[in-house]
């Protein structure tokens, strides 16, 4: 891979990779760290890609794997969040009213919804990226939509 190709992929997919990591981790700083690690791995990757879509899928899968690994890490499990000690999060880049509800979903549902609805992958492509069956993706999307509906309905009723 040439430096020009690498720069182009960073420009094209940096936001998608960061958002995918954010979707799993729920922490903007960690998501940026994961995105940086993903692109470092891309830079050192010696394999070949068949096209831009193959690169995009590889990057998102790598971001998901690294994010899940980060969730499992000892440091993450034993860390105290700044928001838990009273500070408000410094960033709120997403303007969607649905995003807080999506972030409240379990990780399995959250990443399936993100890949399908935010990144525009089909059920088949999402299944391939997550290495699960298409029926599992459909079930996760269905469960995710049901939970989102309940979460959003609950928030509306709380505001009334």
Q: For the chain, give every residue range classified as CATH 1.10.10.10.
A: 95-160
Instruction: Write the pLDDT tens digit of every residue in 40-71.
Output: 999 999 888 998 999 999 999 999 999 988 88
Q: For the chain, give every residue range classified as CATH 1.10.1740.10.
A: 1-93
**pLDDT value for 151:** 83
Residue 89 has pLDDT above 70, yes or no: no
Domain 95-160 top-level CATH class? mainly alpha
**pLDDT value for 76:** 55
- pLDDT, averaged across the chain: 82
**pLDDT value for 83:** 52
Instruction: Write the pLDDT tens digit of every residue in 114-150.
Output: 888 888 889 998 998 888 999 999 999 999 999 988 8
Choose between 14 and 104: higher pLDDT.
14
> How is the chain classified by DSSP, letter by letter?
--HHHHHHHHHHHHHHHHHHHHHHH--HHHHHHHHHHHHHHHHH--S--SSHHHHHHHHHHHHHHHHHHHHHSHHHHH---GGGGTPPPS------SSHHHHHTS-HHHHHHHIIIIIS---HHHHHHHHTS-HHHHHHHHHHHHHHHHHHHHHHHHHH-
> What is the CATH number that goes with domain 1-93?
1.10.1740.10
């Amino acid at each position: 891979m040439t430096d020009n190709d690498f720069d182009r992929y960073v420009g094209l997919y940096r936001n998608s990779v960061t958002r995918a990591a954010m979707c799993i981790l729920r922490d903007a700083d960690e998501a940026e760290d994961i995105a940086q690690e993903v692109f470092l791995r891309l830079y050192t990757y010696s394999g070949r890609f068949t096209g831009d879509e193959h690169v995009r899928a590889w990057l998102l899968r790598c971001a998901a794997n690294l994010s899940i690994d980060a969730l499992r890490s000892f440091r993450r499990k034993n860390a105290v969040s700044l928001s838990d000690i009273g500070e408000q999060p410094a960033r709120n880049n997403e303007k969607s009213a649905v995003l807080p509800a999506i972030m409240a979903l379990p990780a399995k549902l959250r990443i399936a919804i993100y890949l399908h609805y935010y990144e525009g992958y089909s059920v088949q492509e999402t299944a391939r990226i997550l290495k699960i069956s298409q029926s599992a993706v459909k079930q996760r999307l269905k469960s995710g939509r049901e939970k989102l509906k309940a979460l959003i309905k609950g928030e509306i009723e709380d505001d009334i």
